Amino acid sequence: MSTQTQQRRRRRGIRGFIHRLRHSRFLSNLAANRLAMIGLLIITLMVVIALYARIFIGGVGPIEGYYGEIMGSNLSGNADMAKAPPSPKYPFGLDGQARSIFPRVLFGSWLALKWGTVTVAVSTVLGVSFGVIAAYYSDLVDNVVMRTMDVLLAFPSLLLALALVSILGSGLQNAVVALILVYTPRFARVVRGAALAVLEDEYIDATIAIGAKDFRVLARHVVPNCLAPVTVQSTLNFGLAIIDLAALSFLGFGAKEGAPSWGMMLSAGVENGLHSAWWWPFFPGLALALTVLGFNLLGDGMRDALDPRMRDAID
Amino acid sequence: MAATNWLETRVRIVGGSLLAGVAIGALGLLVGGVRYDSQTVTTQLFAVGALVFGFGLLGWSGSVLLGRSIETVHRHLDRESDWTEASSRRAMARVAGFGGGIMGAVTVVGLLFGP
Amino acid sequence: MASKWFVIKRLLLLIPVLIGISTVVFAILHLGGNDPAAVMAGQGASQEQIETIRSELGFDDPIWVQYTRFLSDVSQFDFGESYVLKPGQPVWGSILADKLPVTIELAIYGQLFGVMLGVPLGVLSAIKQNSLTDHITRIGALAGISVPIFWSGPLLIILFANILGVLPASSRIDTQYFIEGPWAFFGHELPLTGLMTIDTLLLGNIDAFVSAVEHLLLPAAVMGIYSMALISRMMRSSMLEVVRQDYIRTARAKGQGQKITMLKHGLKNAFIPVITVIGIQFGTMLGGAVLTETVFGISGLGVILVNAIQAGDYPVVQAAVLVFAMLFTLVNLTVDITYSYLDPRIQQ
């Protein structure tokens, strides 16, 4: 342990970072996991699609050009085209407003990844703060904070989000806020477990003995060592966050009516096209399920590659 | 002897957080009273206290109810297992006490100075 | 063995659960500047009308008075009157009472589906530990939880109702059947349960029963996938643990075949911890019911909850949340008490 610690101290900056990446057992374990790599491939593909959709469909000013076409109804021009089946020109068919579903699904990936990132990023930051504080100031604070998190975790995520939405009001931003509150406890728990493991190490005691201030110890030593398990938890929860966000939109609490989000398209498709146009709900759902599967595969592989001591807290 | 001990522990756990709740509640009334009308402040503060109190009570009874199930599931699925029914119950009693303190403070101040 | 005191103590827990959840839903109503009087008056109501409604409903009383009044109402099972969905009608009697059995039935069959698939899959994984079957089961479970209910539901409808035409797509029973009480039991007239699959049998209508089961198959499958994944993992772990214990080894030493030994001795003991998952999982089940009911056009508690939140019908939201919580508590009480009877190691 001590030589490893010294090595960790000696190499700083970019070169140290690259060195650590190349010698990381975590990454080499992960690269050997075929399923995880398939997951990574799916995620990469989705990110590329999302960026493409944002730049070429969303355009610079989001109202102009192609974006208007995927947003606006085309019924006035070609009413007979509504719910047209997939064809070479419209690979995913048309919906009830005679809009091509294909570019809408592509743009949906941008929305899903964007809001998924916001949800996971903010709840990670909040969770890391709670978790580290709980681990560092043990006993009473730890107990109350963590048990509160545990009780919150016991509620089904969708019902808890619905309860919060009924306080905050509906709308995409409120849905995201609700989900951030729902997801924060998951990160707090992982971080606390990892931070406790780090704090048990001798070198932290040594740092405190030298007289380092609380904040320095937390920022310099505890937080960096929690990064691996937090990354795993973020990956695993990214998929779940996308599902929950889509579910809120599906129930009418998230994205606005007609927005090209997967949840909204599914909702419209199930309501109006389930028996007459299977492609309407099918393709948005396929994109959603595929993205989530990608994150679950990668996250599952990452968890297996993790140091067993850190693995326990992740579920 | 055992009975007094039993009572003493519980009073200590809930009492401390109850007092903290009363203090925070009173402080909230003072600070909020500067900016908003008394109706809004008492309603919102009482509601926050009720949320905390209800959550704590729910968590307390939930811990007792589900304690064994959760411990079994954790054991079998290799999850972090430092969750115990006892610690959860104690923490939730504190949370409930805190919320109850806020509710109590708002009620007492409201009754004394209200219309 | 569980004593009578143990059961009574557990039942007493219902009181703090009820007070706790009532307090939370009370807080939800008053937090964040919701104005129930304005919602009830509707759009375009004058300030005066709103004020009248406010004082009629007692919303101008001090909040602690409202709180104690709310608790005493709830303790008498009085959830007030609906604002929007059915204005002026009692929330329990005319809105929730019929919806409760719908959701209960859905959850029971969903859980049944999860157990009936999850247990064999878990056993299979345990017997063939680390084999291809084990891995496929694990990946299958992972894929299962990746598919959201609001996509797997429509997929099953498209496949089984639209393409194959073998199962119905929505509602609870074919429209030709009228399931109405009371039913006769040795000359006594008794009310119906509200559970379609039981009521049809009570009335002795086998065709209607078949129709009700057919309508339940798809929603139950969709809801059961999640608990199937968890139950199979739990069963696998529990099975492996039981196998390591002595009496299995003894039985094996006596010369019985390995797999038969595992099944015969292991299964019963391995199943006991799995029961606990069923209780905990029930909450997720209720969350899933919200989506499943929406997809399959079944009007149960979940759909009502969503509609009430959208409409701002707070008494209905409060009552629905309360009923969900009581349901969850009762199921877990049952699980806990059953568990203590089944597991000989627990001495209360």
pLDDT tens digits, one per residue of B22-69:
888 888 888 887 778 777 888 889 999 999 999 999 999 988 888 877
Q: Residue C246 — very low, low, confident or very high, per pLDDT cuts 50/70/90?
A: low
Closest approach of B91 to chain A, Cα-based (Å) = 5
* Contact status of C171 with chain A (Cβ, < 8 Å): no
Residue C51 has pLDDT above 50, yes or no: yes
* CB within 8 Å of chain B, chain C residues 251-290: 273, 276-277, 279-280
Cβ pair C169:A281 closer than 8 A:
no
Which pLDDT value is given to residue B71? 79
**Rg value, chain B, Cα:** 18
Cβ pair C169:A275 closer than 8 A:
yes
What is the tens place of the pLDDT at every residue in C288-342? 899 999 999 888 999 999 999 888 888 898 899 889 888 888 888 888 888 877 7
Task: Please count the other Cβ atoms lying within 10 Å of the Cβ belonging to residue A170.
Answer: 19
Q: Residue C345 — very low, low, confident or very high, per pLDDT cuts 50/70/90?
A: low
Of C228, C198, C232, C217, nearest in space to C109 by CA: C217
> Residue A282: what residue type?
F
Which pLDDT value is given to residue A203? 65
Interface of A with C (CB under 8 A): 35, 154-159, 162-163, 165-170, 239, 243, 246-247, 250-253, 263, 266-267, 269-270, 274-275, 278, 281-282, 285-286, 288-289, 292-293, 296-297, 300
Nearest-angstrom CA–CA distance, C233 and C13: 30
Which pLDDT value is given to residue C314? 84
Residue B4 has pLDDT above 70, yes or no: yes
Q: What percent of chain B has pLDDT over 70?
A: 91
* Contact status of A147 with chain B (Cβ, < 8 Å): yes
Backbone angles phi, psi at C184, to 5 degrees: -95, 135
Which pLDDT value is given to residue C305? 92
Of A195, A260, A256, A267, nearest in space to A228 by CA: A195
Residues 6+ apart with CB under 8 A from C298: C102, C106, C170, C171, C172, C219, C292
Nearest-angstrom CA–CA distance, C207 and B61: 45
Which pLDDT value is given to residue B104? 92
Which pLDDT value is given to residue C347? 42
Does the predicted TM-score (pTM) go above 0.95?
no
* H/E run at residue C5: helix C4-12
Cα→Cα distances A84→A96, A100, A105, A158, C59, Å: 9, 9, 16, 34, 53
From the list B50, B64, B110, the residue facing C23 with the nearest CB is B50
Q: What's the token pair of residue A273? A: 């096209």
Which pLDDT value is given to residue C1? 46
Report the mean per-residue pLDDT for chain B: 84
From the list A143, A312, A313, the residue facing B91 with the nearest CB is A143
* Contact status of C335 with chain B (Cβ, < 8 Å): yes
Per-residue pLDDT tens listing for chain A (315 residues): 444 444 445 556 677 777 777 777 778 878 888 888 999 999 999 999 998 888 877 765 555 556 667 777 776 667 777 778 888 888 888 887 778 888 889 989 999 999 999 999 999 999 988 888 887 776 777 888 888 888 888 888 888 898 888 888 878 899 999 999 999 998 988 888 877 777 776 666 666 666 665 667 777 777 777 788 888 889 989 999 999 999 999 998 988 877 888 999 999 888 888 888 888 899 999 999 999 999 998 988 888 887 666 665 565
> Strand, coil or helix: what is B115?
coil
What is the tens place of the pLDDT at every residue in C184-236? 777 777 777 778 888 888 877 888 888 888 889 999 999 888 788 888 888 88
Cβ pair B95:A193 closer than 8 A:
no
Nearest-angstrom CA–CA distance, A223 and A244: 28
* ipTM at complex level: 0.87
Which pLDDT value is given to residue C33? 64
Of A263, A250, A299, nearest in space to A112 by CA: A263
What is the tens place of the pLDDT at every residue in C55-85? 877 777 888 888 999 999 888 888 888 888 8
Cβ pair B66:A143 closer than 8 A:
no
Tokens 């103590």 map to which residue? C9
Which pLDDT value is given to residue A259? 82
Query: 3-state SS of A122-167?
Result: HHHHHHHHHHHHHHHCCCHHHHHHHHHHHHHHHCCHHHHHHHHHHH
Which pLDDT value is given to residue A313? 56
* H/E run at residue C188: strand C188-190
What is the tens place of the pLDDT at every residue in C77-127? 888 888 888 887 888 888 888 889 999 999 999 999 999 988 888 888 887
Residues A122 and A116 sit within 8 Å (Cβ to Cβ)? no
Q: Any bridge partners for residue C189, and if so which?
A: C184
